[in-house]
Amino acid sequence: MTDRYAVIGNPIGFSKSPLIHAMFAQASGQDMEYTAIEGPPGGFAGAVDVFCAVGGKGLNITAPFKLDAFAYATERSERAQLAGAANAMKFDGERVLAENFDGVGLVRDVTHNLGCQLQGKRVLLLGAGGAARGALLPFLAQAPAELVIANRTVARALELQAMGAARANVRGCGYSDLTGQTFDVVFNATSASLRAELPPVPASVFAPGCLAYELAYGKGLTPFLRLAQNAGTRRLADGVGMLVEQAAEAFAWWRGVRPDTRAAIERITIALV
Q: Which residues are catalytic?
A: 66
CA distance linking residue 77 with residue 25, whole number of Å: 25
Total residues belonging to the chain: 273
3-state SS record for the chain: CCEEEEEEECCCCCCCHHHHHHHHHHHHCCCEEEEEEECCCCCHHHHHHHHHHCCEEEEEECCCCHHHHHHHCCEECHHHHHHCCCCEEEEECCEEEEECCHHHHHHHHHHHHCCCCCCCCEEEEECCCHHHHHHHHHHHHCCCCEEEEECCCHHHHHHHHHHHCCCCCEEEECHHHHCCCCEEEEEECCCHHHHCCCCCCCHHHEEEEEEEEECCCCCCCCHHHHHHHHCCCCEEECCHHHHHHHHHHHHHHHHCCCCCCHHHHHHHCCCCC
